[in-house]
């Protein structure tokens, strides 16, 4: 192998290098605070490199592939994780009980991101499965990070058990596919899969395994408890980065390996989408805990994604990417505010946010923008991404699905505005005191706000993604 | 003869895997699971994948089960019994299991498997070792490295959970 070939894997190699550097610094010094700025600088470097240097090609006999579109997916994930690392700085550095494990926290988060990158780049089911496991299993340790809290430990257990169950189902599907086609390479399968009972069953198993990770209804039951028990930053990681990575690989699988099955998955995804949107919304309305509320809202948001898959067009693929890019910004913006407030005061309930605007103007405006973007209110980016998804469904003639989606978008508007109302209008005699967040958190929130405001206004971003997705 | 041996192994696997998940004593479940792994090794021998069978015996039956038993001994009392499961749960899980089995078996029975093309596969240690570390066509160097990263990350996660807090 030459150096050019190695550079195809630049993103993964850099990420693993950062993870190892973090580990070494962690071993060598007692002052864990040094570790954080070093890692952030390295990580920003990696993210920027990802945008500048494009790669295209295959390695290891087709086991690893890289295209400009896959690069873009990795860039979205990198940016998201950068925001999460910035947001978790306050929680990790300012709290004495979290000092001990800063190194472990960062190592696991970054290696899990590397796992996602391997998963998206995979050219066969072996690498896909390994990437998926690398992205999932170590995260269970972070979900149970606050192990002295009962909820956190419980969430860790639930997370690992449901992850193992879904992997089991997925593996069974893969093994059936191997048994019937004699290969696990995507490019071989692409030609040989055909609709028979057994292969359709294998496909459904694989789809359910991935739907577990995206937490589409009816595979969502683990989500609420895990999201509530995990530390806020891990919840935001699970609900945006993990979800986005799983959607990306689902996109690649559906559009390449299972393109012959499009009749089956079109229909399946319509049902999954309707169920997910409706049930996610119905539960989100009733939540009082803000973390749990955002968890259910993220389930409902995931329900909109299948709209872009319908028809299997490359325009649909770019719409899904665009939606996720904006979703990552808006979701992380909302979670970022919750994270700042929780680590400063420990308050998570929605009533605590009454009168939040009077004391914390900046934070409440960020929260408002994020929620507007999640709800899809016109000037901010969330409107455009949802609108494009609706257009894809309308073009394919799925009017009933579109109708349900629009109703659900309206319902979601109600509960997002409920939070905004609490912050701006509701009176409170003892509002949350003025919080001064650290530089890292400010930077993280600033990136989110920039993303929310500008990705929608500049059509060039969507056009750029659209040119990439031609070569899926 | 081969078919008979296959069915014997298959029945052993079936019985002991059901016992492993239904047993109320966790240590017994681990031992039942050991028999499942042994029978799987037997299947590999039957297919004359001798190296794979040896790995299955040493790593799974030898190593992993011993680790299981160690961690069970360290974390719980040997005589601990799980609570009996409610009848409603048993009925529903039975129904789910039977429905799943019917769907899978009917799908498998109706599928017309094509004849395998190359029955003679060189599964010797030398070939396996060569492919495990080669990086060209059919090389498995990348998965090998990713697995090592996965193990490292899991190890660090496990240490984070298990270590005592000093603060």
pLDDT in tens, chain A (472 residues): 678 778 888 899 999 999 999 999 888 887 777 888 889 999 999 999 988 887 788 888 888 988 889 999 999 999 999 999 999 888 887 776 777 788 888 999 999 999 999 999 998 899 999 999 999 999 999 998 887 788 888 999 999 999 999 999 999 999 999 988 888 888 888 888 888 889 999 999 999 999 999 988 888 888 888 988 888 899 999 999 999 999 999 999 998 888 888 888 888 999 999 999 999 898 888 888 888 888 888 889 999 999 888 878 888 899 999 999 999 999 999 999 988 888 888 788 888 888 888 888 888 999 999 999 999 888 788 888 999 999 988 888 889 999 999 999 999 999 899 888 888 888 777 777 788 778 888 899 999 999 988 888 887 888 888 888 776 6
Return the domain boundaries, chain A: 3-471
Q: pLDDT tens digits for chain B (167 residues)?
A: 889 999 999 999 999 999 998 888 888 899 999 999 999 999 999 988 888 899 999 998 889 999 988 888 888 776 777 788 888 998 999 999 999 999 999 998 888 887 766 666 777 888 888 888 888 777 888 999 999 999 999 999 988 888 766 54
Could you tell me the CA-to-CA distances from A90 to A337, B74, B147 in Å, in that order?
12, 36, 32
Do A439 and A365 form a contact (C-beta atoms < 8 A)?
Answer: no
Alpha helices, DSSP H, located in A122-196:
125-143, 150-181, 186-192
DSSP labels, A248-265: HHHHHIIIIITGGGHHHH
Q: Is A98 helix (H, G, I), strand (E, B) or coil?
A: helix
The encoded tokens of residue A287 equal 């939540």
Give me the residues of B, 71-130, that contact A with CB < 8 A: 103-104, 106-108, 110-111, 113, 116-117
A122 burial (CB, 10 Å; 0-12 / 13-18 / 19+) is buried
Q: What's the confidence (pLDDT) of residue A296? A: 86
Could you tell me the CA-to-CA distances from A176 to A249, B46, B111 in Å, in that order?
19, 21, 11
pLDDT tens digit sequence for A187-211: 888 888 888 889 999 999 999 999 9
- A118 with B146: Cβ contact below 8 A: yes
The encoded tokens of residue B40 equal 């799987």
Q: What's the confidence (pLDDT) of residue A16? A: 94
Rounded CA gap, A32 and A35, in Å?
6
Searching chain A, which residue's CA lies closest to the CA of residue B150? Answer: A134
Alpha helices, DSSP H, located in chain B:
2-22, 26-46, 50-55, 65-75, 87-110, 125-132, 141-162
Searching chain A, which residue's CA lies closest to the CA of residue B154? Answer: A138
Inter-helix orientation angle A102-121/A35-52, to 10°: 20
Q: Which residues in chain A are contacts of B142 at CB distance < 8 A?
A: 59-60, 63-64, 127
Interface residue B146 vs chain A (CB under 8 A): yes
Question: Who contacts A328 (Cβ-Cβ below 8 Å, separation ≥6)?
Answer: A76, A79, A80, A83, A240, A241, A244, A451
Rounded CA gap, A189 and A239, in Å?
31
- A61 with B136: Cβ contact below 8 A: yes
**Nearest by CB: B104 against A118, A147, A201:** A201
Rounded CA gap, A120 and A114, in Å?
10
Searching chain B, which residue's CA lies closest to the CA of residue A64? Answer: B142
**Nearest by CB: B111 against A107, A108, A197:** A197
Do A140 and A156 form a contact (C-beta atoms < 8 A)?
Answer: yes
Interface residue B148 vs chain A (CB under 8 A): no
Q: Indicate which of B133, B160, B163, B167 best probes the interface with A, i.e. most A CBs within 10 Å of its own CB.
A: B160
Taken in order B60, B140, A72, B152, is the CA torsion positive or negative? positive
């Amino acid at each position: 192998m030459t150096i050019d070939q190695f550079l195809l894997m630049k993103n993964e190699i850099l990420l693993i290098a950062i993870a190892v550097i973090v580990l070494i610094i962690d071993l060598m010094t007692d002052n864990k605070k040094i570790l954080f700025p070093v890692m952030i600088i390295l990580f920003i470097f990696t993210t920027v490199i990802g945008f500048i240097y494009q790669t295209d090609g295959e390695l290891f006999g087709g086991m690893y592939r890289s295209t400009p579109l896959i690069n873009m997916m990795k860039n979205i994930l990198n940016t998201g994780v950068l925001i999460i690392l910035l947001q978790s700085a306050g929680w990790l550095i300012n709290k004495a009980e979290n000092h001990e494990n800063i190194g472990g926290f960062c190592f696991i988060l970054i290696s899990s991101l590397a796992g996602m990158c391997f998963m998206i780049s995979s050219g066969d089911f072996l690498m896909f499965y390994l990437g998926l496991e690398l992205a999932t299993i170590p995260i269970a340790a972070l979900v149970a990070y606050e192990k002295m809290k009962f909820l956190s430990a419980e969430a860790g257990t639930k997370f690992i058990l449901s992850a193992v169950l879904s992997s089991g189902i997925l593996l069974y599907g893969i093994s059936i596919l191997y048994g019937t086609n004699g290969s696990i390479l995507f490019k071989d399968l692409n030609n040989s899969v055909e609709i028979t009972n057994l292969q359709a069953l294998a496909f459904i198993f694989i789809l359910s395994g991935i739907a577990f990770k995206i937490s589409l209804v009816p595979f969502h039951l683990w989500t609420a408890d895990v999201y509530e028990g995990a530390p806020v930053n891990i919840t935001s990681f699970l609900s945006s980065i993990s979800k986005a990575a799983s959607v990306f690989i689902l996109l690649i699988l559906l559009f390449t390996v299972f393109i012959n099955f499009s009749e089956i998955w079109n229909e399946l995804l319509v049902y999954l989408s309707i169920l997910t949107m409706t049930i996610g919304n119905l539960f989100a309305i009733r939540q009082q805990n803000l973390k749990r509320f955002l968890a259910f809202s993220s389930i409902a948001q995931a329900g909109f994604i299948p709209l872009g898959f319908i028809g299997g067009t490359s325009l649909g693929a770019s719409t899904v990417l665009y939606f996720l890019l904006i979703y990552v910004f808006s979701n992380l913006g909302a979670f970022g505010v919750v994270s700042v407030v929780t680590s400063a005061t420990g308050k998570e309930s929605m009533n605590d946010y009454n009168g939040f605007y009077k004391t914390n103007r900046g934070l409440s405006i960020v929260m408002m923008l994020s929620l507007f973007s999640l709800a899809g209110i016109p000037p901010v980016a969330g409107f455009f991404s949802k609108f494009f998804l609706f257009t894809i469904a309308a073009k394919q003639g799925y009017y009933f699905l579109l109708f349900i989606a629009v109703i659900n978008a309206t319902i979601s508007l109600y509960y997002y505005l409920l939070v905004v109302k609490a912050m701006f209008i509701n009176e409170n005699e003892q509002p949350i005191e003025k919080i001064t967040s650290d530089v890292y958190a400010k930077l993280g929130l600033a990136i989110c706000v920039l993303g929310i405001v500008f990705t929608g206004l500049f059509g060039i971003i969507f056009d750029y993604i659209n040119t990439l997705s031609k070569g899926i | 003869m081969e078919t008979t041996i296959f069915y014997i192994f298959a029945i052993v696997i079936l019985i002991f895997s059901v016992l492993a998940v239904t047993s109320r004593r966790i240590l017994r479940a681990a031992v039942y699971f050991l028999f499942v792994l042994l029978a799987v090794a037997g299947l590999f021998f039957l297919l004359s994948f001798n190296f794979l069978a040896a790995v299955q015996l040493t790593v799974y039956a030898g190593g992993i089960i011993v680790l299981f038993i160690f961690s069970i001994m360290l974390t719980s009392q040997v005589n601990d019994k799980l609570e009996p499961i409610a009848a409603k749960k048993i009925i529903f899980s039975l129904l789910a299991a039977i429905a799943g089995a019917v769907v899978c078996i009917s799908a498998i029975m109706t599928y017309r498997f094509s004849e395998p093309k190359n029955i003679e596969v060189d599964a010797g240690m030398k070939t396996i070792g060569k492919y495990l570390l080669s990086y060209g066509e059919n090389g498995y160097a990348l998965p090998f490295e990713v697995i090592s990263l996965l193990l490292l990350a899991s190890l660090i996660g496990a240490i984070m959970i298990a270590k005592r807090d000093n603060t």
